[in-house]
A and B are shown apart, each in its own frame.
Chain A
């Protein structure tokens, strides 16, 4: 039996019964799309179409369309890739790590967060493909004999590790997400008629909810959580090694793995907040995603934001303490060089602004949280830009020092990822149960508002 402390506020408010949960969540799936949804979907698709045109041109004409030069060979492409992969960390973290820690507030947000994870990883993958220049050769990154001759990929390279890490992460996240969706599809199936019944029937994989199946379902959920927890940490660790194992001053840093993972959780939680704060209002889910949820997530943001802040300061300290002039220059150049504005945007957005969440009234304020969640992701984008572009733009030969100026295609390819992300997320929010009904039902009795009223 689960015991929940009586002093804890209820996780689901409004005195919901089990049946109310079914009705509230299925209503979104069964009803006609709202006007707000149609407007948002149209905008996303327009963004996606324009982005697809830019991406197509990038592929057709080549990477010369981007603002890259011989000094700065990686700029927005890898910045966007790392940014999206980072965002794609919150979903699995929420569902896996918080499951292992028995944090029950995860149940209201894990479904949407996992969906967000999958879509963000897809966006990240689009930049991997784009930055290859010849995306039709992408299979060269797989362990196949080179152009079907005799040479294999180099397994010493972190870029090859990345191929395995990202594809494993995408697959396992997808499986974890879908296993969770099966029982909820069964609920929708039993309420649906006609074609919808056939479609949701197929999606539900014939789930009948017997005690035997639930017992196995619980067993695999726990193991999947146990497997996903080190997986989610490994993914951004390996992404950070793309930089850390190089010899570029500013990249060659041993603290990169934990620093990147903390940053990933930080930006991922911010993105979950941005999306959920909109979704809960549009779909009337205020009783499921409550102020308590927002506050819990803000606590994680202030924790990871502080870890990121300490990492920034540690980098500086080590750059000075190591006595390596190149390393010191790279960091002084970040702060005071031509990209000082990117550096200080990053510092303000990531280190200073989340500290506001130490104040309880700020943590519980929806409007401030919404604004800060966007500010955090702007800051995290700048963090990756600062690490990537400012470490490259002044190399060892002052005559080749350069600046990066994005072109229309840099911007367009970035817009593509936003179009893809929001199109997929809106389709998910409309046609899939946006909250995990089965899990919310299972915590209802121990922690609903109704139960609290009975106790008093």
Chain B
């Protein structure tokens, strides 16, 4: 977290009030930095103007890699490196390769996608003391964070807007 910054924290207690509030507050020209919630709130990402995640595309690409790697491995081993005559059957029996190709596809798609997710969210066991604006956002509160430097309005104006749109309490937090 950058030091010397001032934030306004709007604490909400209801997810529907929050989603509605986010829409209203944004139309009033306040830039919201981020909202922290204890559980995934449906419609919140759309209200904040976030685009849908591209992670499913990453999963598809990783899955295709898995398909190619699995097939290549089996064709290379059984077709080229050491072809075996098993009852006169083809050296490269594609139908027999379907199960393992499927498994390698699923394996790489899941591991690749979750790995990408961890990387872009900065998650990992080394990150054991993350900075939380308000720890209650892992319990039952929805915390809206507004960076004062990025807004033209002052403290009082933002506080008024937040309170008008359902914030139960408004706190100020300076990082130093």
Instruction: Give A contacts to B, CB under 8 Å.
Output: 1-2, 17-19, 22, 143, 150-156, 158, 160-161, 164-165, 168, 171-172, 175-176, 179, 182-183, 186-187, 189-191, 198, 201-220, 222-224, 227-228, 230-231, 234, 238, 241, 437-439, 441-442, 445
B40 touching A214, Cβ below 8 Å: yes
Known: A203-B125, A208-B130. 20 other contacts (CB 8 A): A156-B89, A175-B114, A187-B38, A187-B139, A206-B127, A206-B130, A209-B36, A209-B38, A211-B37, A211-B50, A215-B52, A219-B53, A223-B113, A230-B106, A231-B106, A438-B38, A438-B40, A441-B38, A442-B40, A442-B41
Residue of B77, B103, B109 ringed by the most chain A CB atoms within 10 A? B103
What chain A residues lie within 8 Å of B38 (beta carbons)? 18, 22, 183, 187, 209, 437-438, 441
Please tell me if B175 contacts chain A, counting CB pairs below 8 Å.
no
A211 touching B36, Cβ below 8 Å: yes
Find the A residue at minimum CB distance from B46: A215
Given A209-B138, A212-B50, do A183 and B39 touch, yes or no (CB 8 Å)? Answer: yes
B107 touching A211, Cβ below 8 Å: no
A215 touching B100, Cβ below 8 Å: no
What chain B residues lie within 8 Å of A445 (beta carbons)? 14-16
Give the contacting residue for A190; candidates B48, B82, B128, B138; CB below 8 A.
B138
B86 touching A156, Cβ below 8 Å: yes
Instruction: Give B contacts to A, CB under 8 Å.
Output: 14-16, 34-45, 48, 50, 52-53, 55-56, 59, 63, 73-74, 77-78, 81-82, 84, 86, 89, 93, 96-97, 99-100, 102-104, 106-107, 109-111, 113-114, 117-118, 120-132, 135, 137-140
B100 touching A164, Cβ below 8 Å: yes
Find the B residue at minimum CB distance from A23: B139
Given A18-B139, A156-B96, A219-B52, do A150 and B81 touch, yes or no (CB 8 Å)? Answer: yes
A152 touching B128, Cβ below 8 Å: no
Q: How far is the CB of B101 from chain A (nearest CB, A)?
A: 9
Give the contacting residue for B35; candidates A189, A210, A217, A222; CB below 8 A.
A210
B111 touching A211, Cβ below 8 Å: no
B113 touching A171, Cβ below 8 Å: no
Q: How far is the CB of A75 from chain B (nearest CB, A)?
A: 26
Q: What are 17 inter-chain pairs, A to B, with CB distance below 8 A? A: A19-B140, A151-B82, A152-B78, A155-B100, A165-B99, A190-B135, A190-B138, A190-B139, A206-B122, A209-B38, A216-B55, A216-B117, A223-B56, A227-B59, A227-B109, A441-B39, A441-B140
B139 touching A168, Cβ below 8 Å: no
Given A234-B99, A445-B15, do A175 and B110 touch, yes or no (CB 8 Å)? Answer: yes
Q: Is the interface of A mostly helix, strand, loop or mixed?
A: helix
**CA gap between A172 and B102 in the complex, in Å:** 13
What chain A residues lie within 8 Å of B14 (beta carbons)? 445
B39 touching A442, Cβ below 8 Å: yes
A206 touching B138, Cβ below 8 Å: no
A155 touching B77, Cβ below 8 Å: yes
What chain A residues lie within 8 Å of B81 (beta carbons)? 150, 152
Given A17-B140, A154-B86, A438-B38, do A206 and B124 touch, yes or no (CB 8 Å)? Answer: yes
**CA gap between A165 and B121 in the complex, in Å:** 30
Q: How far is the CB of B90 from chain A (nearest CB, A)?
A: 10
Find the A residue at minimum CB distance from B114: A175
Q: How far is the CB of A234 from chain B (nearest CB, A)?
A: 6
What chain A residues lie within 8 Å of B124 (beta carbons)? 205-206
Find the A residue at minimum CB distance from B105: A227
Given A2-B42, A152-B81, A168-B103, do A208 and B110 touch, yes or no (CB 8 Å)? Answer: no
B36 touching A22, Cβ below 8 Å: no
**CA gap between A155 and B83 in the complex, in Å:** 12
Give the contacting residue for B117; candidates A17, A201, A220, A442; CB below 8 A.
A220
A209 touching B107, Cβ below 8 Å: no
**CA gap between A176 and B129 in the complex, in Å:** 23
B77 touching A143, Cβ below 8 Å: yes
Give the contacting residue for B59; candidates A143, A183, A223; CB below 8 A.
A223
**CA gap between A29 and B86 in the complex, in Å:** 56
What chain B residues lie within 8 Å of A241 (beta carbons)? 99
Find the A residue at minimum CB distance from B19: A1
Q: How far is the CB of A167 from chain B (nearest CB, A)?
A: 8
B15 touching A172, Cβ below 8 Å: no
**CA gap between A438 and B109 in the complex, in Å:** 25
**CA gap between A21 and B171 in the complex, in Å:** 25
Q: How far is the CB of A169 from chain B (nearest CB, A)?
A: 8
What chain B residues lie within 8 Å of A168 (beta carbons)? 103-104, 106-107
What chain A residues lie within 8 Å of B99 (beta carbons)? 158, 161, 164-165, 234, 238, 241
B114 touching A224, Cβ below 8 Å: yes
Q: How far is the CB of A227 from chain B (nearest CB, A)?
A: 5
What chain A residues lie within 8 Å of B114 (beta carbons)? 175, 179, 220, 224
What chain B residues lie within 8 Å of A165 (beta carbons)? 99, 103
What chain A residues lie within 8 Å of B139 (beta carbons)? 18-19, 22, 187, 190-191
Given A19-B140, A150-B82, A216-B55, do A211 and B48 touch, yes or no (CB 8 Å)? Answer: yes
B129 touching A201, Cβ below 8 Å: yes
A438 touching B100, Cβ below 8 Å: no
**CA gap between A191 and B103 in the complex, in Å:** 40
What chain B residues lie within 8 Å of A217 (beta carbons)? 40, 117
A198 touching B45, Cβ below 8 Å: no
What chain B residues lie within 8 Å of A201 (beta carbons)? 128-130
What chain A residues lie within 8 Å of B45 (beta carbons)? 211-212, 214-215
What chain B residues lie within 8 Å of A1 (beta carbons)? 42-43
What chain A residues lie within 8 Å of B55 (beta carbons)? 216, 219-220, 223
Residue of A175, A183, A206, A222 ringed by the most chain B CB atoms within 10 A? A206
A171 touching B111, Cβ below 8 Å: yes
**CA gap between A438 and B40 in the complex, in Å:** 8
Find the A residue at minimum CB distance from B32: A211
